Copies of this chain bind each other. A is one copy, B any other.
Amino acid sequence: MDPQTYMDVATVVTKLKMYPYFDIAHYTLMCIAVREDVLPQQGSSTPSVPFSRKHPLSSWLSSMLICFAGSIIANMLLGEPLITPFKDHQSILTATAVWYLVNYSPFDLVYKLAKFLPVKLAICVLKETQRAHKVYHGVLVAAKLYPSSYLVIIMVGTLKGAGSGLMKNFDRLIRGIWIPGNNEILQPSFATKASLVASIVFLCERLNLIAVPHPLIYFGIVLFFVYFKISSVVLGIHDPFVPLENLFCAIFCGGMWDALRRAASKEPTKEEENKDPRNDVIKSKDEKKKD
């Protein structure tokens, strides 16, 4: 692609309107996530009656909270009314229609269609584009409210992009599920980490630390999101940040000192060898991904 075409495409992507197609893709993925997030013992075999049949209200509210999780949590942190997303009838009605189709369509057609690989890939591409849009606007909003609070700006940007993860514990509670040992901060997903990186990039752009035209940065972030999402769906590479994290942990989060301490103690017993923290970090992270 010659640079001018690339720049043109980037400018178009920057000005894309999210409603309706990108938002619908987002709502679809969120409603499917809610539908599939059942207790392991319930999910092991197909349950006799799906949750959406037994508890429509809980299923609806839970889906809405996840669809608008980023706004709700960001509003809470910024002291705005939590109910703001429910003011916008158009979004709520669209999300409700998507929720209805995902859960109650005849012969489960919409759900099966959305799980069909080519369709799923298209939805994911739309959703990741919307994620970039949300991160960027989160950074804009926070930077307007707190211009010099970089940490706040990054946190709001990340939340807008990946709020559904943080909302998950509370959202499960609405559906009567409670898994305290599992949350987004304990085991951050790739979406959260990528949103964090994107927030930092957008913040650097605002601070004029990156001398690249805005459409290029924005389009780069979109491509970054889309690329890793597709590789996750198609190739099963869930988290390309893991090696970097392990390196970071080994250097800064005690790995080096633990190794030094082991070296200092004269006779490392067998047990201590088994307790090599760095291996454990890598192992435990890998195990989590597989679960």
Residues of A within 8 A of B (CB): 48-50, 52-58, 61, 75-83, 86-87, 89, 92, 103-107, 146, 149-152, 155-156, 169, 173-178, 180-183, 185-188, 249, 252-255, 257-258, 260-261, 264, 274-275, 277, 280-281, 284
* B residues in contact with A56, CB < 8 Å: 249, 253
Query: What is the minimal beta-carbon distance from A53 to any residue of chain B, in angstroms?
Result: 5
* B residues in contact with A87, CB < 8 Å: 146, 149, 151-152
In this complex, which of A75, A82, A83 has the most chain B Cβ atoms within 10 angstroms of its Cβ? A83
User: Could you name 24 residue pairs across A and B whose Cβ atoms are closer than 8 Å?
Assistant: A48-B275, A48-B277, A48-B280, A49-B280, A49-B284, A50-B277, A52-B253, A53-B254, A53-B280, A54-B281, A54-B284, A58-B185, A75-B79, A77-B81, A78-B83, A79-B79, A79-B83, A86-B151, A92-B151, A103-B254, A105-B257, A176-B186, A177-B181, A178-B178
Write the chain B residue with the least CB distance to A196.
B57
* B residues in contact with A258, CB < 8 Å: 53
* B residues in contact with A86, CB < 8 Å: 149, 151-152, 155
Q: What's the number of copies of this chain in the assembled complex?
A: 3
